[in-house]
Amino acid sequence: MATIPTPFSERLGIRHPICLGPMGLISTPPMVAAVSNAGGLGIMGTAMFDSESLREAIRETRRLTDKPFGISIMAAHPTAAGHAEVAIEERVAFVTTSAGSPKKLAPLFREAGIENYHVVPSVKLAMKAKQAGCTGLVAEGSEGASFKSPDEISTLVLIPQVVDATGLPVIGAGGIGDGRGLAAALCLGAVAVQMGTRFIATHESPIHDNYKQALLGLAESDTMMVGRKSGPLRVARNACSLEMAEFEKSTNDVAELRAKIGYHRFPEAALTGDVENGLLVAGQVVGMVDDLPRVSELMARMVAEAAEIFDRKRQGFAAGT
């Protein structure tokens, strides 16, 4: 099996420099373990947990895999301090922080010897994360699903600028779904990639099959941003998102907007399979998603494709190949 070792994969002790994006209702212990068992780094979404349920989720993941995995913590969330304490006590291998300043959390992880990468959408925020003491960064472009920066900086331009400005190891995220994306991110200076949408569309993904089938039918132009006034969120275009977009035109009251636009309707699609009236979170890479492979199959073919690209590069990209 092909491998593409990077400083990140070697430091974490994983086979492939591919990470699971931490997604609520999706990046659960079985899904995290599936990615880690396949040689990548599973990262668990934790927003739905209190401290003790997070501890149990970590221990459940350890029952499913003996490979490294990580968790994600929303830095501004009321549970952040408790989650950080649990992560340190349970000695998780890796923590990403997002949605807030890592200033209070980064020193705790650094002292505990735990890798801590902060998710950033711009060079300015990347520099702040470096100053806070994070050991690395996740540079996430606007192509990706879920919450996004209003600046909407693309992955292609974000990764190299964050790499150059900070000198820290960088994971590239947003718009990556195959070996070409993996190769491109590594060529831009990233040490690994993180994927969300592409992992949703896999056999092991713990969401309703209607959701997965809906992703197979979407084009790259079938996503949109809702909540631009209250917190941009990239989702698929359907009755739910169009309703949210229409409501946004009616008010500038942020509290009203947040009450109507957000993840509260995601379970309708993810758990019950109502892909028209529920929120269908998806990134622009969805236009490349045309099958539902097993996690191990997806990762193996991505790495094989990227390795072939690098082999061709070494051979000078001979004409006609």
**Window from 122-131, 157-166, 177-186, 254-263 with minimum mean pLDDT:** 254-263
pLDDT at 317: 59
Percent of the chain at pLDDT above 70? 98
Residue 319 pLDDT greater than 70, yes or no:
no
Residues 6 or more apart whose Cβ sits within 8 Å of residue 40: 14, 15, 16, 17, 18, 19, 20, 299
Residue 149 pLDDT greater than 80, yes or no:
no
Give the span between the Cα atoms of 2 and 53, in whole angstroms.
Answer: 37
Residue 151 pLDDT greater than 70, yes or no:
yes
Mind listing the pLDDT tens digit for each residue in 3-28?
Answer: 888 999 999 999 999 999 998 889 99
pLDDT at 312: 82
The pTM for the full model equals: 0.91
Task: pLDDT band for 275, please (50, 70, 90 cuts).
Answer: very high
Which domains are assigned to the chain? 7-206+291-314 (3.20.20.70), 223-281 (no CATH)
Beta partners for residue 44, in sequence order: 71
Residue 150 pLDDT greater than 90, yes or no:
no
Percent of the chain at pLDDT above 90? 73
Task: pLDDT band for 231, please (50, 70, 90 cuts).
Answer: confident
pLDDT at 314: 74
Residue 320 pLDDT greater than 60, yes or no:
no
3-state secondary structure of 24: coil
Alpha-helix runs per DSSP H in the chain: 7-12, 29-37, 51-64, 80-89, 106-112, 123-132, 155-166, 179-187, 197-200, 209-216, 239-248, 254-260, 266-270, 295-314
Angle between helices 295-314 and 29-37 (to 10 degrees): 40
Residue 318 pLDDT greater than 70, yes or no:
no
